[in-house]
Amino acid sequence: MSKVKKTAALLGLAALGSGAYLYRAKSLIQKMAYIDHSYQNTKIEDLLPNEEVLGLYLARVEDDISWFKKSRFKKASITSFDGLELNAYQIENDAKRPYIIMVHGYNSDALSLLCAAHDLARRGYNLLMIDARGWGESAGEICTFGFKESLDLVGWIDYLLKETVNDIGLYGVSMGASTVLKTLSYKLDPRVHFAIVDGPYSSLKGLLEKRAKTSLLTPALNHYVQELLGFDLTEMELVEAVKLNHTPTLFIHAKDDPIIPLSNSQDLFNMSEGLKELFIIDSNVHAYNFLYESYFKRIDEFLDHYLF
């Protein structure tokens, strides 16, 4: 951290003038960032309180699991820039089709995207379903909400390019969508041809302030993000990052998303450079809208237009 940033952070902390604020901020970052693997025991009924979507999920989940077991997937692994062993499931379908790297959201892992993966596989796409650092079978204990995960995604892109893959797409849901958008702000190999982002957040600062239910904690939150996670909140202002994006991108967001408001994708869409489309799905569900038929119909239209 630069001296100017450090001084500004310390002045912000001093302005708070209360140890209670500091404790609350540190506790919030620790609670959200340190990964608790009990998420793996969460019942699907608790994730999908919407009975319609739960019914769609239950009607197909056995078929999705059966497909995955028969898919002849292979385990893939890379070492992250900071020495963590990262895991993925690689499924080859049609050599003439692109590879799609699938990035899951918070409190989940690669297998949470099994339904979406099955639908993409039906269309012949090759898949790389990654476990983000600390989740699933990937090493690590701390989630950085898309910052270090975006650098890991660059590593997975390099992994496919070394296997002489010439066409790559990126697909992310929730935090995974924000990870993809951060990655698109880097100078990527031109063989990354498209991106699909479902329910991204536009600002980590805004997300944390919403969780804290106040903006008064922001200086302290930023201090502990720097101290515990190793970056500044300004680096995850994705409305700024997408200005550097020139990859054709489909933004998808539920009209009445209860976790991340639609305005996040609208802001990102408006600021994103290059070819882009926005699909607002008539839903009040977060991160499971791929269960609706209209979801993949819209993705097909997007890829037919920009890819083929």
CATH number at residue 181: 3.40.50.1820
What pLDDT is recorded for position 308?
A: 66
The rounded distance, in Å, linking the Cα atoms of 142 and 33 is 5
> Which residues are within 8 A (CB) of 46 and not within 5 positions of it... i.e. 6 or more apart?
none
Residue 130 and residue 29 share a domain: no
**pLDDT at position 48, please?**
87
* Residue 106 and residue 29 in one domain: no
Looking at the structure of the chain, the number of domains it has is: 2
Exposed (0-12), middle (13-18) or buried (19+): which is 76, by Cβ within 10 Å?
middle
- My answer on whether 15 and 107 are in the same domain is no
Query: Which pLDDT tens digit goes with each residue over 21-68?
Result: 889 999 999 999 999 989 999 999 888 878 999 999 999 999 999 999
Amino acid identity of residue 174, one-letter, is S
Same domain, 129 and 2: no
Q: What is the pLDDT of residues 154-210, one digit of tens each?
A: 999 999 999 999 999 999 999 999 999 999 999 999 999 999 999 999 999 999 999
Do 245 and 187 reside in the same domain of the chain? Answer: yes
Predicted confidence (pLDDT) at residue 101 exceeds the cutoff of 80: yes
Is the whole-model pTM more than 0.85?
Answer: yes
Cβ atoms of 151 and 80 within 8 Å: the answer is yes
215 and 257, same domain (yes or no): no
Looking at the structure, tell me whether residues 29 and 104 fall in a common domain.
no
Q: Which domain holds residue 256?
A: 42-202+237-306
| Residue 109 and residue 164 in one domain | yes
253 has pLDDT over 60 = yes
Residues 78 and 155 reside in one and the same domain: yes
88 shares a domain with 48: yes
Q: Label residue 43 exposed, middle or buried (CB < 10 Å: 0-12, 13-18, 19+).
A: exposed
State how far the alpha carbon of 274 is from the alpha carbons of 64, 136, 184, 191, in Å: 35, 34, 11, 16
pLDDT of 239 reads 97
- pLDDT value of residue 47: 87
pLDDT for residue 14: 52
Q: Are residues 166 and 73 in the same domain?
A: yes
